[in-house]
Amino acid sequence: MTVDVYSASLVVPMTAPAIPGGAVAVSEGRIVHVGTRDWVLRVLAEHGQHVAETHWPGVILPGLVNAHTHLQYTGMAAVGQVAYSGFEDWSDAFNTVYGRGARDWAADAAEGGRLSLSYGVTALADVVTDMEAASALHDTGLRGVAYWEVMGWENGAWRQGGWQRTDAQIDQIPASPGVGVSPHAPYSLDTEPLLDIPDLARRRGLRLHIHLGESATEADGRGDTPDERWREVDAESFRALRRDGFGASATDFVDQLGVLGPDCHIAHGVYLNPHDRAVLRARGTAVALCPRSNAVIGLDEPPIAAYLHEGNPIAVGTDSLSSSPSLDLLADVAALADIARRQGYRGSDLARRLLAAATLGGATALGLATGPNRVGQLQVGALADLAFLDVPVTGIADTIETVVRYGSGNNAATICGGEIRWTSAAWQGPAAIVPGEGLAHGVDPHAETSNQTHTETS
């Protein structure tokens, strides 16, 4: 059996130090070796493995992990091309288009999957509102979790069969690659469904994902001083608490109901104060930051510098094309880098931490950082998902900075499960290493531009 070896000027495993002149060996859809090119080839030769090597002159990363999106809204991109004055303004525009119906949600979601691959994304947290779109990850061979979105339930209707209906809907979603539940937001569900949905998910061993801190109305009405009076009130909903003058934050509200935990991650996290962020840390709950979506909607910038300083687990999401210019995850990474610097983050580790958020951090948020189907990392036994960045390679730190600042739009190829799923014109440049020639004998692979075919060596 042939082992595919992908070597590069720089390989960034995320779970180990970056490797100049590194290589990743792939067999049967999984990574079997990671290390320097010479070492990987020597080990394979010692074991009598048949090798097919392709050299990439740029950077090899793990497949990126988009920790918050809605692929089914890919066909609503016109909504995301407008600047809005706030959440309600955007919501009105979204609902107008969504309410027209007559969309092919399955086709739109599939197109979102194809676009994701073009940006080096191989795993996603895909929030599904219409069942027609529920099989997008499964059908396109992507990784991640399809989160069934539950919203609009009031207490009375929920008691009349909401649990049973939601349970039956979840059964309709393909089990592969993964299924989760998304109680939409604190303001769109009454107390009883928000209390029950986490139990429903956890009894089935499913993950949770909730929009939190996306609207300024979710912030604590008392600023940095928590308002605890509401805990003595049997409130029918978060909206009712606010109507009755209580200043509790949405974060405290959902925490009281047991929504948060290490099996849950939130989307946006814009309007969270230090107390709210501390609650997330205490519960082991990651936040998927979506800065370009926030900008389109007209929200404040996410407090990325605070998340970094305080040590919150973070991931990165694009949101959907109904509120974002593109599904290019590295564009959101670059936006976060700019925001962090404006907010006063001066650490030299910024680029490294943001790249980790877009890979291993996203995998952690989705529960995919460990186990047999782990992603977001180049590690032996992990699924062979790789992204090839067409960026210049200098020193390790400088190159990672370049990836974070200028990697957007520069994905050259995407491999998912060991199969090449997408390539750009730049991919015509990799050198296929010919037996007895190539890198091992000092030939510059950059000079080889006409042969992309994998050539077997032994």
Nearest Cα to 77, choosing from 366, 387, 328? 328
Residue 229's pLDDT is what?
A: 84
Q: What is the pTM of this model?
A: 0.94
Nearest Cα to 24, choosing from 68, 66, 61, 74? 61
> In percent, how much of the chain has pLDDT > 70?
93
Q: Which CATH architecture does the domain made up of 2-62+376-457 adopt?
A: Roll (2.30)
Amino acid present at 268: H
pLDDT averaged over every residue in the chain: 93
Strand partners, 383: 30
pLDDT tens, position by position, 121-168: 999 999 999 999 999 999 999 999 999 999 999 999 999 999 999 999
Report whether pLDDT(436) > 60. no
**What CATH number does the domain located at 64-365 have?**
3.20.20.140
pLDDT tens, position by position, 229-242: 889 889 999 999 98
> In percent, how much of the chain has pLDDT > 90?
87
Report whether pLDDT(75) > 50. yes
Q: In degrees rounded to 5, what are phi and psi of residue 182?
A: -120, 95
Residue 224's pLDDT is what?
A: 59
Mean pLDDT of 106-133: 98
**CATH code 2.30.40.10 region(s) in the chain:** 2-62+376-457
**CATH code 3.20.20.140 region(s) in the chain:** 64-365
Q: In degrees rounded to 5, what are phi and psi of residue 2?
A: -80, 135
Mean pLDDT of 243-251: 90
Residue 226's pLDDT is what?
A: 63
Report whether pLDDT(272) > 50. yes
Strand partners, 316: 289
